Amino acid sequence: MEFQLLTNSPVNDADILILPVPWEKTVCYKHGTALAPAAILEVTDQLEYYEEDIAWSPMKYMQVCVLESVAPHKDEIQFHANLINIVNKLPTDNLFIALGGEHSITPSLIKGRMPKNGSVIYLDAHADLRQSYQGSEYSHACAAYQILSQEHSLIMVGIRSVFEPEVQYLSEITTFMDRGLNIEQVIKCINELTGPVWLTIDMDVFDPALVPGVGTPQPGGINWYQCLDILEAVFFNKNIELYGMDIVELIPEPSHVSETIAAKLMQKAISFWGKAKGFDHRKQNGSQIIMDNK
């Protein structure tokens, strides 16, 4: 698979690593998230190379590699062990973006890639703080609890569906409930972060009128520009080290709007990261140039 139909660079040369993780095991309502990585990458073909917010063409300056998809496994414990092992061996001097699959992949991605005592910015409609769900502690409903168990702190944004016993945890972590969300306060909180950071975006954080293609939709939700404001705050904070991000819980749908939003979100992340790292002042040796010279 490719990003914007660009030839994949060797893993060690790539500035951007994209890992498809089509894992779907514990979803409880609508199915299809295993199809999301391929659907998101397919619609990247419809995006312009030029990114209008920063006003540059990031792929003229950066090389991209879409890695081989992580294979599913009938045993979920084995699957997560494989996933941790795969991401642990990848080079770290890059922007790492995993495409889910369900939200249960996030704790394993973090475990394989980020040192302890980091901060995880968690955009989601649901609190995901159950200790186990339907017999599995690897359920997508437990992802945030697993992250807490790994000794990371959480900043949760967009929450609007909570199981009563989760309330106790929510009160102990930084939580921005969806109703009355003050995006300036979220940005202030992100600006104050230091050290290791991970960004996880459950696509159900968006208004389902905007992104209907999710497994467990909830009314309310953030809009496109609020999400971009959060993204900018993360990528332009020079006091953090971003170990990676993931986009999860998308289900491709007939209009392709949901997967287009996920694809453009990925492009914005690449653009903001590249700009913050000063790639726009480097030699033009990116995937787009390599392709044009072929």
135, 161, 210: which is closest to 144 by C-alpha?
161
Taking a C-beta distance cutoff of 8 angstroms, is the pair 109, 138 a contact?
A: no
Interface segment toward Mn ion; rule CB under 5 A; list 126-134, 190-198, 226-234, 263-271: 126-134
Distance CA 5, CA 43 (A): 10
Cβ atoms 33, 102 nearer than 8 A:
yes
From the CB of 143, what's the least distance to Mn ion, in Å?
6
Between 15 and 204, whose beta carbon lies closer to Mn ion?
204
**Is 103 a residue that touches Mn ion (CB under 5 A)?**
yes
Least Å distance, CB 209 to Mn ion, is 19
Work out how close the CB of 126 gets to Mn ion at its nearest, in angstroms, rounded to a whole number: 5
User: Which residue of 51, 102, 137, 202 would you call a contact of Mn ion, by CB under 5 A?
Assistant: 202
> In the complex with Mn ion, which residue's Cβ is closer, 60 or 103?
103
Q: How far is the CB of 63 from Mn ion (least distance, A)?
A: 31
Q: Which is nearer to Mn ion, 101 or 286 (CB)?
A: 101
List binders of Mn ion among 227-286 (CB under 5 A). none
128 lies in the site for Mn ion, by CB under 5 A: yes
Cα–Cα distance measured from residue 173 to residue 71, given in angstroms and rounded to the nearest whole number: 34
Q: At what angle do helices 76-88 and 105-113 cross, to 10 degrees?
A: 40
101 Cβ contact list (under 8 Å, min separation 6): 21, 22, 23, 24, 33, 34, 36, 37, 248
Whole-number Å distance between alpha carbons of 240 and 57:
25
124 touches Mn ion (CB under 5 A): yes
- Asked if 178 is part of the footprint of Mn ion (rule: CB under 5 A), the reply reads no
Binding site for Mn ion (CB under 5 A): 103, 124, 128, 202
